[in-house]
């Protein structure tokens, strides 16, 4: 949920994708909190995030602006790729010394709140050190869990269908808001028959798409403490996906794996695929065609089940400098100059001031902004239930098991049983 127009391809590939399972945390130690101070009143806070070098360069520029405005606050930085970040974070948190402020995501809020790691930033809002005003489309609520403010959004994105525009044109397919899954299925066959290419890269492991499909039917992937669907529900979903591959409307999973890390769309194996809207830049950097964003199919022509997702900034409950951390977060989500530097690297800016400050001049990012604006104006957006503790493990299992099934290593029945077995264990912990 997180790239900008000039993002290098490796940044996207490393920062994106499904969450990976991370090692469990033991009880939080009673060591001293993080951060440090000096005799002249200057304090140092530690800031960690995941991503590649391009994001680091952008963030370091924003930190320089922050330190200029707050000369008594110094920021020590640290970043890794996604999986490495969480491994290190677990080690730090289990030792009672996590970074003062760090990049976070919805799948980890309940998990680390349950482990007593996250600071409730609500007190800093009351103290006037952090403003939750001016956020777009209700994003100020995104990091709230059980009445506590555990994360502050820095950007937004939503699921979309990325299409190879010339392929869709040749097939005579024009996706429009309100199209149904029946319309989508017919379009996939039309693309296959008229262009000789699979219509879609395959929907086996796109957990967030399945979440939208469930929400269209009055359910959701997660409730507050469990899975929100049945084995029968998932059997239907994966059976349909498997049938689509056999019929050639979804790409051959073996070929999709072979072209990784390139996407099936940019590798010309499929005419489209579901992903986060701000990943569109990936296809432009990888492929030779022209790519665009199409709306999510619906069940009833109205309800898409969509919400704005977001990366967030969270704080350690053990920080010795909660005020300075709050001031840092406030600066990063409200200052217009930060938006001009970050662009859409972490998604479309979460606050209106930053959204207005960065006006993209390239067609890809213009399309991303227009897509999210259309979602807000159309009124389709809903709220997301904060994922339960263990959701990150479930997400990783969903991706892995779905791929095993797609490659013919598991039957649908076996895949469903395996997923529910692993998920129940993860969510029970």
pLDDT at 166: 98
Work out whether strand 43-50 and strand 101-104 pair parallel, antiparallel, or are unpaired: parallel
pLDDT at 36: 66
pLDDT at 38: 63
pLDDT at 325: 98
Of 396, 416, 414, the residue nearest 235 (C-alpha): 416
pLDDT at 6: 37
309 confidence band (pLDDT: 50, 70, 90): confident
Question: What torsion, rounded to 10 degrees, do the Cα atoms 31, 37, 38, 42 define?
Answer: 170
The C-alpha atoms of residue 97 and residue 93 are separated, in whole angstroms, by 5
pLDDT at 161: 97
34 confidence band (pLDDT: 50, 70, 90): low
With 0.85 as the threshold, say if the pTM is over it.
Answer: no
The C-alpha atoms of residue 314 and residue 386 are separated, in whole angstroms, by 14
Distance from chain centroid for Cα 158? 8
Residue ranges of alpha helices (H) inside 224-321 are: 231-246, 253-259, 280-286
Whether 16 shows a pLDDT value over 70: the answer reads no
How confident is the model over 371-413, as pLDDT tens digits?
Answer: 999 999 999 999 887 799 999 899 999 999 999 999 999 999 9
Residue 214 sits at the vertex; the CA angle it makes with 208 and 220, to the nearest 5 degrees, is 75
How confident is the model over 224-247, as pLDDT tens digits?
Answer: 899 999 999 999 999 999 999 999
pLDDT at 14: 37
- Radius of gyration (C-alpha) of the chain in whole angstroms: 21
Whether 15 shows a pLDDT value over 80: the answer reads no
Alpha carbon distances (Å) from 254 to 322, 367, 404: 50, 31, 10
Token pair 């084995």 is at which residue?
Answer: 231
The C-alpha atoms of residue 15 and residue 339 are separated, in whole angstroms, by 19
Burial of 180 (0-12, 13-18, 19+ CB in 10 A): middle
pLDDT at 278: 84
Length of the chain, in residues: 429
pLDDT at 280: 84
Alpha carbon distances (Å) from 120 to 34, 125, 287, 412: 16, 10, 44, 42
pLDDT at 275: 93
Q: Helices 391-406 and 231-246, interaxial angle, to 10°? A: 40
Token pair 């022509």 is at which residue?
Answer: 301
Task: Go through the domains of the chain in sequence order and give each one's CATH number.
Answer: 9-157+309-361 (3.40.190.10), 159-307+385-428 (3.40.190.10)
Whether 107 shows a pLDDT value over 60: the answer reads yes
Whether 3 shows a pLDDT value over 60: the answer reads no
**Contact of 319 with 97, CB cutoff 8 Å:** no
The C-alpha atoms of residue 257 and residue 259 are separated, in whole angstroms, by 6
DSSP-assigned letter for residue 79: E
Q: How many CA atoms lie within 13 A of 424 on its CB side?
A: 9
Most confident of 187-196, 203-212, 279-288: 187-196
pLDDT at 122: 98
**Contact of 120 with 333, CB cutoff 8 Å:** no
How confident is the model over 117-144, as pLDDT tens digits?
Answer: 999 999 999 999 999 999 998 899 999 9
Instruction: Name residues whose C-beta falls within 8 Å of residue 368's C-beta, 6 or more positions apart in sequence.
Output: 277, 278, 280, 293, 344, 348, 360
Report the SS3 class of residue 49: strand
Token pair listed for 175:
């996706």
Whether 362 shows a pLDDT value over 70: the answer reads yes
How confident is the model over 254-292, as pLDDT tens digits?
Answer: 999 999 889 999 999 999 999 999 888 889 889 999 999
Q: Phi and psi (nearest 5°) for 79?
A: -145, 150
Whether 22 shows a pLDDT value over 50: the answer reads no
Least confident range from 22-26, 197-201, 367-371: namely: 22-26
Whether 12 shows a pLDDT value over 80: the answer reads no
Q: Among residues of the chain, what percentage have pLDDT more than 90? A: 79
């Amino acid at each position: 949920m997180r790239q900008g127009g000039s993002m290098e391809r490796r940044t996207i590939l490393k920062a994106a994708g499904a969450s990976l399972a991370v090692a469990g945390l033991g009880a939080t130690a009673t060591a001293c909190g993080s951060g440090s101070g000096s005799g002249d009143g200057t304090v140092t806070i530690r800031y960690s995030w995941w991503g590649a070098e391009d994001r680091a360069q952008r963030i370091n520029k924003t930190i320089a602006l922050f330190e200029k405005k707050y000369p008594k606050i110094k920021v020590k930085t640290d970043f890794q790729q996604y999986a490495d970040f969480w491994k290190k974070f677990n080690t730090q948190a289990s030792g009672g010394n996590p970074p003062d402020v760090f990049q976070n995501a919805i799948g980890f809020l309940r998990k680390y709140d349950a482990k007593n790691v996250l600071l409730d930033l609500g007190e800093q809002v009351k103290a006037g050190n952090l403003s939750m005003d001016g956020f777009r489309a209700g994003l100020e609520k995104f990091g709230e869990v059980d009445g506590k403010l555990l994360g502050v959004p820095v950007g937004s994105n939503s699921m979309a269908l990325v299409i190879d525009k010339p392929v869709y044109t040749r097939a005579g397919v024009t996706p429009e808001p309100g199209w149904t899954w029946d319309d989508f299925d017919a379009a996939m066959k039309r693309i296959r028959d008229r262009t000789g290419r699979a219509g879609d890269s395959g929907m086996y492991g796109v957990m967030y798409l399945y979440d939208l499909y469930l929400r269209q039917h009055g359910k959701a992937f997660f409730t507050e403490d469990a899975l929100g669907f049945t084995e029968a529900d998932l059997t239907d979903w994966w059976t349909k996906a498997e049938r689509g591959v056999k019929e050639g409307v979804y790409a051959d999973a073996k070929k999709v794996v072979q072209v990784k890390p390139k996407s099936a769309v940019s590798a010309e194996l499929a005419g489209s695929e579901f992903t986060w809207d701000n990943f569109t830049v990936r296809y432009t950097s990888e492929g030779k065609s022209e790519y665009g964003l199409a709306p999510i199919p619906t069940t009833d022509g109205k309800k898409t089940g969509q919400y704005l997702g977001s990366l967030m900034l969270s704080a350690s409950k053990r920080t010795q400098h909660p005020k300075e951390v709050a001031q840092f977060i406030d600066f990063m989500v409200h200052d217009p100059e930060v938006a001009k530097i970050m662009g859409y690297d972490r998604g479309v800016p979460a606050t209106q001031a930053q959204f207005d400050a960065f006006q993209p001049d390239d067609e890809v990012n213009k399309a991303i902004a227009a897509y999210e604006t259309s979602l807000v104006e159309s009124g389709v957006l809903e709220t997301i239930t904060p994922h339960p503790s263990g959701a990150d493990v479930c997400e990783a299992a969903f991706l892995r098991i779905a791929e095993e099934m797609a490659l013919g290593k598991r039957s649908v029945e076996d895949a469903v049983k395996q997923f529910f077995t692993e998920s129940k264990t993860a969510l029970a912990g």
